[in-house]
Amino acid sequence: MKIAVFSSKSYDKQTLNNENTALGLASELSLEFFESRLSEETAVLTNGFDAVSCFVNDKLDESVLQVLKENGIKAIALRCAGYNNVDLDCAHAMGIHVYNVPDYSPDSVAEHALALIMALNRKTHRAHYRVKEGNFSLEGLMGFNVSSKTVGCIGTGRIGKAFVKIMRGFGCRVICYDAYPSEEVSAWGCEYLELDALYAQSDIISLHCPLTPETKHLINASSLNKMKDGVMIINTSRGALVNAQEAIDALYSGKIGYLGLDVYEQEGELFFEDMSGTIIQDSVFQLMLTFPNVLVTGHQGYFTDVALSHIAQTTLQNLHAHFADIDCKTEL
Ligand code: NAI
């Protein structure tokens, strides 16, 4: 079977090829790598393939799916957990099967959320540059003890649970909101509250819910108004959970005291590419980077050795199961 692997970087090629050999699937699954994203412009490249493998910013809307269907693509193996970039109803109606990697390493993303919290709190990103220039002044670098804080976790699925465990380990009071509360999380001593109560009580709010029509711009002027002054907002889930312009207004007013983002609503135009030699045309993003209390990383929450291996293994096993007609729990 011929698989067109889109949005593939050197590390994707390496891990997918290694795991394909290790799993003994190399004679069954022939991988061809395309650096470009899957889009209306590149969908034509799928001609002659049996399946595609895609990542978070590949576009799988109706027009792209139509080209895939015409080219005989039978399966889409996502190399990620989130699938908000796929028109699932449309894919199903066209008879194209879609698989994801739901559980590759929740700890990777939860630990990155912690990295953002601690860097923003202790201002290590700023301290690093000071010390490099021989400036050992501590003015402006004061942090706070995380252990005394109340942490609000929105979404207590796989990553949310890993995050809750970490913050409980710090000794924080952890309060949660989820459409489907988990008894396991309650048993760890965490209280589920309504969103407004979570907003009102949290010093730090970390987002671990998926992007859906209900969660789009969950963090906006109205929800921010319900929060404590100086709240820390951490988003490692999907960019569109935060209304960036309204977050900027709240940074100006001091309502948001710290903002840590691993994802950004318009990241498709920027992330995963070296843009250092170009003029970035997104003025909202550029403005956000000027705040000393904002820390942005380029969707690297998942990016650890363990996670990459698991992503490659599950992606290949999904494709194998599809073509061998084996029931697969990761089918969406
Ligand atoms: P999951 O499906 O295990 O958990 C999501 C949780 O959110 C579930 O408990 C669900 O009930 C809850 N939820 C659904 N709608 C909600 C709502 N309206 N309000 C509150 N909670 C709601 O997903 P997992 O694996 O924990 O991933 C969470 C998100 O993290 C993904 O959807 C993805 O967007 C993001 N992600 C980011 C990565 C990165 O590299 N930064 C990597 C992997 C995932």
Per-residue pLDDT, 148: 94
Q: Which residue numbers in the chain have pLDDT < 70?
A: none
> Ligand 1 pocket check: which of 83, 114, 159 to mutate, most ligand atoms within 8 Å of Cβ?
159
Give the ligand 1 atom nearest the CA of 161.
26
Q: How far apart are CA 301 and CA 108, in angstroms?
A: 6
CATH superfamily, region 2-104+304-323: NAD(P)-binding Rossmann-like Domain (3.40.50.720)
Per-residue pLDDT, 89: 97
Per-residue pLDDT, 82: 86
Per-residue pLDDT, 174: 98
Which of the residues 97, 112, 217, 238 is marked catalytic? 238
Query: Tokens standing for 33?
Result: 């790598």
Is 238 catalytic? The answer is: yes
Distance 176 CA to ligand 1 centre (A): 13
User: Per-domain residue ranges for the chain?
Assistant: 2-104+304-323, 106-296
Per-residue pLDDT, 154: 98
Per-residue pLDDT, 294: 98
Give the ligand 1 atom nearest the CA of 210.
32
Per-residue pLDDT, 103: 85
Is 299 catalytic? The answer is: yes
Which of the residues 37, 208, 267, 310 is marked catalytic? 267
Other CB atoms within 10 A of residue 113 CB: 27
Distance 80 CA to ligand 1 centre (A): 12
**Ligand 1 pocket, Cβ-based, cut-off 6 angstroms:** 81-82, 106, 109, 154-160, 177-180, 208-212, 214-215, 236-238, 262-263, 299, 301-302
Per-residue pLDDT, 268: 85
**106-296 shares the fold of 2-104+304-323:** yes
Q: State whether CATH 3.40.50.720 applies to domain 106-296.
A: yes
